[in-house]
Amino acid sequence: MDEKLHIPVMCGEIINYLNLAAGKTIVDATIGMGGHSLKIIERISPGGKLIGIDRDEDAIKTARSRLGDYSASCNFVYGNFIDVDKILSDAGVQKVDGILLDLGVSSAQLDDPLRGFSFQNEGPLDMRLDRNSYISAYDLVNNLNEDELSELLWNFGEERWHNRIARYLVKEREKHPISTTLELSQAVSRAIPYKYRHYRIHPATRTFQAVRIAVNRELESLEIVIRKAVELLKNNGRICVISFHSLEDRIVKFSFRDFAAKGLLKIITPKPLVPADEEIRQNPKSRSAKLRVAERL
């Protein structure tokens, strides 16, 4: 994907709510193609420091290239954001002024058929954010038993037809392994009652979400990184989290609420912020984004 075509979601809001100023230290824990980070480093220079983390080696390479003019002020780390405490320690950083989490799958990952995230493009059934990790979507879809598949689809996708889909997938893979994205997408569509196959969202949307979340342990990782982020923030430092579905947003909401009850955070956005109509018009993929912000006390 051409980095010039990449549009970071809710970038104006992120820049505003991070309270950026020259000399600050900011962590972009999901640096992706570097869209947010470029705007951040421009505002914390001179004297600022950016630590950019991503599980995708390709993303790190792209961000490093995009922020090349500021390379002396940046640390680019290929790693999992749940290790943010160790990553900062290795960089000689104890506390930071702000942390950004932009969750989910990037357009570059979604649009690359070889990554296996999209139910609209033929590709291997992969879905690993980190291509060096061991478990892929293929492994889960073809090896979990019916009850395990059903539970996965409900817990991580809130899929109404989780029982039917799980049963159908098990029958299908008895004939041959389900090995591509379109094979999974078509199987899920066939499993759902006909009259429910033509709703606003594609019938395989929730299944693909559920499998991707399970492959990458996204919800478990989110709880861990928020807990660590709160400990790593300086007083008055801020954490901004952009989520793209209700399961993520719920974790952010209740995590912030728990830390606020303990006197560790002040919630800046009692209700999540959503993209403006103009942003959604220019970037339809932003329409499901929700931003929550909290400040360390």
Read off the CATH number of the domain in which 194 is found: 1.10.150.170
| Domains in the chain, number | 2
Question: Per-residue pLDDT for 231 more than 50?
Answer: yes
Question: Per-residue pLDDT for 4 more than 70?
Answer: no
C-alpha 186/C-alpha 203 separation (Å) is 9
- Span 233-255, mean pLDDT? 97
- Span 55-63, mean pLDDT? 94
Q: Which pLDDT tens digit goes with each residue over 245-266?
A: 999 999 999 999 999 999 999 9
Together in a domain, 98 and 228: yes
Together in a domain, 117 and 104: no
Q: Which pLDDT tens digit goes with each residue over 84-142?
A: 999 999 999 999 999 999 997 888 888 899 999 999 889 999 999 999 999 999 999 99
Percentage of the chain with pLDDT > 90? 89
Together in a domain, 235 and 88: yes
Task: Output the average pLDDT for the chain.
Answer: 94
Greater pLDDT, 1 or 124: 124
Together in a domain, 38 and 101: yes
Together in a domain, 93 and 118: no
Together in a domain, 229 and 83: yes
Is the distance from CB of 44 to CB of 22 less than 8 angstroms?
yes
Query: What does pTM read for this prediction?
Result: 0.93
Q: Which of 179, 198, 216 is a domain's end point?
A: 216
Q: Tell me how far CA of residue 31 lies from CA of 51, 95, 217, in angstroms.
A: 9, 19, 18
Together in a domain, 55 and 91: yes
Q: What is the pLDDT of residue 238?
A: 98
Q: What is the pLDDT of residue 120?
A: 87
Question: Per-residue pLDDT for 54 more than 60?
Answer: yes
Together in a domain, 182 and 238: no
Together in a domain, 238 and 249: yes
Percentage of the chain with pLDDT > 70? 97
Together in a domain, 62 and 138: no
The band of 145, judged by pLDDT with boundaries at 50, 70 and 90, is: very high
Q: What is the pLDDT of residue 285?
A: 85
Q: What is the pLDDT of residue 1?
A: 40
Q: What is the pLDDT of residue 6?
A: 63
- Residue 80 corresponds to which tokens in the numbers above? 């999992």
Together in a domain, 207 and 228: no
Is the distance from CB of 266 to CB of 297 less than 8 angstroms?
yes
Is the distance from CB of 8 to CB of 36 less than 8 angstroms?
yes
The four Cα atoms 199, 205, 206, 211 give a dihedral, to 10 degrees, of 160
Q: Which of 216, 243, 276 is a domain's end point?
A: 216
Q: Which pLDDT tens digit goes with each residue over 150-182?
A: 999 999 999 999 999 999 999 999 999 999 999
Q: Which of 189, 216, 243 is a domain's end point?
A: 216
Supply the range of the domain harboring residue 130. Answer: 113-216
Q: What is the pLDDT of residue 3?
A: 45
Question: What amino acid is encoded at 231 in this protein?
Answer: E
Together in a domain, 243 and 193: no
The band of 7, judged by pLDDT with boundaries at 50, 70 and 90, is: confident
Is the distance from CB of 274 to CB of 242 less than 8 angstroms?
no
The CA radius of gyration of the chain, in Å to the nearest whole number, is: 20
Supply the CATH number for residue 104's domain.
3.40.50.150
Is the distance from CB of 222 to CB of 196 less than 8 angstroms?
no
Q: What is the pLDDT of residue 196?
A: 74
